[in-house]
Structure 1
C-alpha cells in the first residue's frame, strides 16, 4: 500500500517483545504507586514497614542494653559500698579490741608476792597448840625477792615485832597486805608501789624457824585467807 509503513521481517519478529516489555513497565509503575499509597500498614513516611520495624527493634535492644549496663553498674556500686562498710566495721572492731586489751593490760593486777612454793597455810596451827596463823608462808630462800601483790602505798616499812623486818601496803577498797621476815627492805613509808614491784629480800628476821616470806591480806582490818583471795582476783595458784 502506498504511504504505509512497511516492517522488515526482523522488525515484525521484535514487535511482540517490545509490546510485552511496555506492558510490564506499566504494571511495575502501577504496582509501585499502589504500594506507596496503601496506607500505614505498608509504609511509614515513605520507608518500608519492615525497615521501620527493624530500626525500632534495634533501638529497643540498645535501650535494654543501656538499662542492663546501668543495673550492673548500680549493683557493682552497691557491692563495693557494702564491702567498704564491712572492712570499716572490721577495722573498728579490731581497734576496739586492741584498745580494750591495752586498757586491761594497763590495769593493776594482783600477783604472787613470791616465786617460791607455799610452805604453810592460813588457819590454826596444830603444832603450835592451835594458835591462829593469819597468813600464808612461801618457802623463799634468804635473799630471794619479795614482790608487791598489788598497787598501793607503803604505810609501814622496817622493824615490826614478831614479823621482823616487814612491809605493809595499803590498797584501795579497804585492803592491806603485809610481808614479813625480810632480810632487807627496799621501800619506804609513803612510797607508791606497783603490782609486782620488788619490796626487798626474804630472810629470817623476827619470830621464825628459818628464812621464808610471811604474807597476810587484811580486808577492813580483818585477816583473810590469802590463797582464795588471790584466786578470786585472778592469780593462778
Structure 2
C-alpha cells in the first residue's frame, strides 16, 4: 500500500487524479498540498493548506511513495509571465526538490506537448526548463507526461478552448493531427497512475501514448502486454 502526494489538486487533471486515487486500492493515503481546501471528506485524504513561498513551514510534511505534480496556470489567470513562471516552474520545482530530498521514490509530472527549453514560445520554453531541471533530481523514477490540448469539466468556461477542441476533433476524424488530438483530463490522470506500473525506469510519455496507457488502468496488473499491443491501443 502506497502514499501518494499531490500538488495541483484543484486543477483540471488534479481533480480527476484525486478522485481516482481515493478509489484506488493500491493507495492507502493521499496527501494533498495546496493553497485551498478540496472540500472533500474521505478517510484516505490528508490535506495540507500551505503557502508555497514558505517551504520551511511544510517541507517536513512531504513524505510518501510518489509525487504527482499537476500544477499549472494560464497567463491570463496569473496576470503576468513572472507570476505564471512562479507557479508553473518555481513552486513545482521547489516541491519536487524537497520531495526528492525526503526520499520520495517516484515522481510523475504533467508537462505539455511541445515542451522544449529552446522553444521561441514562453510557455513551452518554461515547461521545457522544468523538465530539464527535474530530471536532475535524485528520484528513482521520473515520468513526464506531455498531453496535447486538455479538455474536461472546468470550473470556469473557456470559449476559445472549446472552439479549438471542437476544431481539432473535426480534423482528427478526417485523419489529420491524430497524434496531437485533444485528450480528456481523466485519461491523463489514468495514464499517470498506470505509468508507475508500466515503466520500469524514467520515461517521457507523449500525448499519443497517454491514450494507450489510460486503457491499461484498472486492468489485471499481472498481465504482460507487448509493446506492439500498447501501440495499437494508442491509435483507438
For the criterion TM > 0.5, the same-fold answer is no
TM-score of the pair, normalised by structure 2: 0.18
Name whichever structure is richer in strand by fraction.
1
Query: Structure 1 length normalisation: TM-score?
Result: 0.18
